[in-house]
Amino acid sequence: MKVSVIIPAAGLGTRMAAKSGSAGDGQERSAARKQFMLLDNEPLIVHTIRKFASSPSVAEIVIAVRPEDAASAAEWITQAAVSTPVRIVEGGNSRQQSVDNALASLPADTELVAVHDAVRPFIDVATIEQVFAEAAISGAAIVGIVPVDTVKQVRLNKVRQTIPREHLILAQTPQVFRYSLLRQAFDKARADNFTGTDEASLVERLEQVEVSVVAGSDRNIKITKPGDMELAKLFLAQEKEAAGRR
């Protein structure tokens, strides 16, 4: 099973308005590029890369970044010294364009494609392997969790109904698909001028395709706000402590 991992990292991160993370050069830029914010003196994206480099199923990792970030990203990747090959491609003005660019660069013999948020560095390898295995069987699988809060549907600031939580999931990443299926979904989206919120939303538009869900974790957070970095520091410390006991 040959898996290529795409990590779109060309976003501007407008919600990350304040500086956070470890002090160091590049922090002012990282306020706009959350994927490059420093956590324990390394950019968040490097921590994310390491998780997928730890999976024996991953053949390569493709990072989509803005042209002005390519040189810095290459330097950080070299310093990370992971054994899995990591390539850099030019990102687009949207997540969908970035993933599309990376997808176009994959070799034809790729079997599965996983797309993962650059700022979700706490995905665990066991979940990675589970969603890979499910996608290998079904062709399309994502990681998700059931919301713990009651979900209300509202209109004009008024509650219209309560939506049963057992019928809902909060989608996470990685989202994993058979290569040919994801290529078809992106081609159709481009032809229809459709923009989705994630890769699964593109695949869901294909006929007779169902997307499976693998249970995720509350630890698989997407770091989007300055306060999230405090939780990230705690999770990283816990991971290091656990690794030290092994």
**Digitized pLDDT (tens) for each residue of the chain, 246 residues in all:** 789 999 999 976 555 554 444 434 444 444 457 899 999 999 999 999 999 999 999 999 999 999 999 999 999 999 999 999 999 999 999 999 999 999 999 998 999 999 999 999 999 999 999 999 999 999 999 999 999 999 999 999 999 999 998 889 999 999 999 999 999 999 999 999 999 999 999 999 999 999 999 999 999 999 998 889 999 999 999 999 988 877
Q: So what's the pLDDT on residue 21?
A: 42
How far apart are the two ends of the chain, measured CA to CA in Å? 29
Q: So what's the pLDDT on residue 37?
A: 92
Domains and CATH numbers, the chain: 3-245 (3.90.550.10)
Instruction: List, in sequence order, the alpha helices (H) in the chain.
Output: 27-30, 44-53, 70-80, 95-104, 125-138, 179-192, 199-203, 228-245
Residue 159, classed as helix, strand or coil, is strand
Q: So what's the pLDDT on residue 203?
A: 98
Residue 246, classed as helix, strand or coil, is coil
Spatial CA neighbour of 127 closest among 177, 181, 176, 198 = 176
Q: So what's the pLDDT on residue 15?
A: 52
Q: So what's the pLDDT on residue 56?
A: 94
Residue reference for tokens 């990072």:
63
CA distance 142 to 145: 10
Contacts of residue 189, defined as CB under 8 A and 6 or more positions apart, other chains included, come to 96, 195, 196, 202, 205
The pTM assigned to this predicted structure is 0.91
